[in-house]
Structure 1
Amino acid sequence: MQAWQVHENGEPGEVMRLAEVPPPAPGEGQVLLRVRAANVNFPDALLCRGQYQVRPPLPFTPGVEVCAETEDGRRVIATPLLPRGGFAEYTVADAAALLPAPDALDDAEAAALHIGYQTGWFGLHRRARLAAGETLLVHAAAGGVGSAAVQLGKAAGATVIGVVGGPEKAAVARALGCDLVIDRTNEDVIAAVKEATGGRGADVIYDPVGGAAFKQSTKVVAFEGRIVVVGFASGEIPAAALNHALVKNYAVLGLHWGLYNTRNPGLVLECHERLTELAARGTVKPLVSERVPLDGAAGAVQRVADGVTTGRVAVVLEKGAGA
């Protein structure tokens, strides 16, 4: 079968190589999956660079979420078990962690209704307790993680402010349903948020960026507001000034969604059921901006790494691709 492999760490476009390799053999409690579509995530770039919290042995295949088909014909969403990731014709996953792919979504959309949306759901509902009528600010609102949070925020009845970088991304954020879009490349984010909220600030801030975005968040978070930290796409991990959190009376909440898979997997299934319901109603629909064939995976991961994409980029395999 064909699979992308990383033999040394570096930029995805330089270190990912498409190779012919044997199909993976599932171990105890695992299943073999034929990949239908694999979603590209920023962690895939970090894996290639050797900067992710998990460092699989070399060589490995990146690709952390897929829509796939089981040997008995079920269409499922799965998180492949590294080092045998999803940018391949076949992968393996834990049988107990498989989730049914929503009928309302195609393969690329279904692959994208997993990590980003689960992260958004847990971050906004379980960690921040977002309530209807509150104001939600989403950094990188046109990206894969941010676009999911925008849709989930609107579904929860929040007023959503999206922060983006550039006019193309601003148009995407407006189309997603943001009530206000702020282009950080030509607008003062802090001043714009304060003006839009009458000086009150945002009740919940969803931050997959870190760096300067986190610093802006601390300036515009409301009284008893919650800043949810879900990643550091900027490459800069900020240091929280806890005296500032004390004086302004706000909370900084971390979210590592992967922990729920081991600490409370029942919540992951419950979340997936809610997301499936929202997808069936058309309330949420993953924004898949680009679909590429398997041989385009390296370029797709590099574009995501460079921050030039909107929504999700999916690697789509032809049905019936052989081993």
Structure 2
Amino acid sequence: MRAMRVRTLGARMVAEDLPDPVPGPGEVRIQVRACGVNFADTLMIDGRYQERQAPPFTPGMEVCGTVAALGPGAEPALLGRRVAAMPGAGGFAEAVCLPAAACVPVPEGMTDAQAAGFIIAYATSLIALQRAALAPGETLLVLGAAGGVGLTAVEVGRQMGATVIACARGAGKLAVARRAGAHHLIDSDGADLRAEVKALGGADVVYDPVGGALFDQALRATRPGARLLPLGFASGTVPQIPANILLVKNLSVIGFYLGGHARLHPEALPRALQTLFDWFDQGCIAPHVSHEVPLDRANDALELLRSRAATGKVVVTI
């Protein structure tokens, strides 16, 4: 099989031919049709992700494909089924093996590209916003609202009954957030985020995959009793949270990382995906893929994320 491999941390991936992987007990081999690209892939390649991989390795955290082979004990009915799964790594390849229990059937109306970029972004948004107890009628502020996870938070927040304030860079990205259901738009280029959010009444929940200066402004634009979700640091700067502001405003900061949460609460991810697939079937959410890039150009797909040129998801196609 063909795979994109990291030979040296921080360097570009290289294409290699590898033996087809053999599924072990309870595993299946998926013939990959598409692999979602995540900002975490760039961190993993640079050696800066919280779960480090030793070179050589194949990145690619979420896939859609067809079950092509079964390991001992795997359910025979899975053979030939189109499924989505979150292997954590190994997806930038023509095939990957993982536990059969980790595979979920894909709705018929969902394309391979949509399914490949669905699990991490949508499940992160739904479970994180549930943990923050986002309630109907509350105000949700989404930073990086046109990105892979941010755009799903706009959709999920609206579906949960919140008033959504979307913050993104430039008119084009804000237009994408508006189409996803945002009620209010703030351009992060040059805007006084704190003042604009406070003029809208303040935020009850802040969803932040960006970090940096925007988090600092959002923190100061919260209502008393608000909840903050620091989900990533695409800006490159991890914010330091002043405890005195938390104290005075009775704020809660809720860290959330999907992989770790799924290990602690294995029932949470299947439950969330069932809800999300139901919403998809009902037309309540519409996964947005801005770029589909072939496997041999997977380095270009990563650059789209690093340069913030993408909206929604970038997907590598096989």
Q: Is the structural similarity TM-score above 0.5?
A: yes
Q: Quick one: which of 29, 34, 58 aligns to 1:32?
A: 29
Q: Which moved more, 1:18-27 or 1:284-293?
A: 18-27
Distance 1:81 1:136 in 2: 29
Cα distance, 1:120 vs structure 2: 0.3
For 1:245 and 1:266, how far apart are their aligned partners in 2? 31
Deviation readout 1:68-93 (Å, 9 max, x if unpaired): 111211111111253xx111100111
Q: Is the 8 A contact 1:75 1:100 kept in 2?
A: yes
Match of 1:109?
A: 114
Q: Select which of 134, 150, 153 maps to 1:130.
A: 134
Residues 39-93 of structure 1 deviation map (CA, whole Å, 9 limit, x = unaligned): 11001111111110111121111100011111211111111253xx111100111
Q: Are residue 51 (structure 1) and residue 43 (structure 2) matched?
A: no
Partner residue in 2 for 1:174: 178
**Residues of 1 paired with 2:212 and 2:293: CA distance?**
31
For the residues of structure 2 that align with 1:252 and 1:260, how far apart are their CA atoms? 16
* Residue 280 (structure 1) shift: 0.2
Is this contact kept in 1: 2:143–2:207, CA < 8 A?
yes
Aligned partner of 1:275 in structure 2 is: 276
Question: Which residue, out of 14, 17, 21, partners 2:14?
Answer: 17
Partner SS, residue 304 of structure 2: helix
Q: Does 1:141 align with 2:169?
A: no
Matched, 1:119 2:131: no
Matched residue SS, 1:108: helix
Which residue of the partner structure matches residue 290 of structure 1?
Answer: 291
Contact between 2:36 and 2:313, CA under 8 Å: does it hold in 1?
Answer: yes
For 2:163 and 2:262, how far apart are their aligned partners in 1? Answer: 30
Task: Tell me whether 1:248 sits opposite 2:249 in the alignment.
Answer: yes
Per the alignment, in what secondary structure is the counterpart of residue 182 of structure 1? strand
- Residue 160 (structure 2) aligned to one of 146, 156, 162: 156
| Structure 1 runs not aligned, ≥5 long | 318-323
What residue is the counterpart of 1:89 in the other structure?
A: 94
Map 1:202-241 onto structure 2 (within 5 A): 202-241=203-242
Query: What's the RMSD between the two structures over aligned residues?
Result: 1.2
Structure 1 residue ranges (4+ consecutive) displaced by more than 6 angstroms after TM superposition? none
CA contact (8 A) 1:2 1:19 kept: yes
Between 1 and 2, higher relative CO (CA 8 Å, sep ≥ 6) is seen in 1
* Secondary structure of the structure 1 residue equivalent to 2:254: strand
How far 1:186 moved relative to its partner?
Answer: 2.7
Name the CA distance, whole Å, in 1 between partners of 2:25 and 2:43.
29
Contact preservation (8 Å) 1:81, 1:93: no
Output one character per residue of 1:250-271: Cα deviation in whole Å (capped at 9) or x when no partner. 1111111112322221111111
Question: Does structure 1 retain, via aligned residues, the 8 Å contact 2:203–2:223?
Answer: yes
Take 1:102 and 1:117, find their aligned partners in 2: how far apart are those partners?
A: 15
Deviation at residue 170 of structure 1 after TM alignment: 1.5
Question: Could you say which residue in structure 2 is the equivalent of 1:320?
Answer: none
Scaled by the length of structure 2, the TM-score of the pair is 0.94
Between the aligned residues of both structures, percent identity stands at 44
In the alignment, the residues of structure 2 paired with residue 183 and residue 299 of structure 1 have an alpha-carbon distance, to the nearest angstrom, of 26
Cα pair 2:113 2:317 within 8 Å, conserved: yes
Name stretches of at least 5 consecutive residues in structure 2 with no aligned partner: 69-78
CA deviations 1:183-206 (Å, max 9, x no partner) are 011321111111122xxx111110
In 1, the alpha carbon distance for the partners of 2:304 and 2:50 equals: 21
What amino acid does structure 2 have at the position aligned with 1:162? Answer: A
The one-letter amino acid paired with 1:55 is: R
Contact kept, 8 Å, 1:16 with 1:298, in 2: the verdict is yes
Native 8 Å contact 2:66 2:80 kept in 1:
yes
- 2:6 corresponds to 1:6: yes
- Distance in 2 (CA, whole Å) between partners of 1:287 and 1:165 is 17
- The one-letter amino acid paired with 2:216 is K
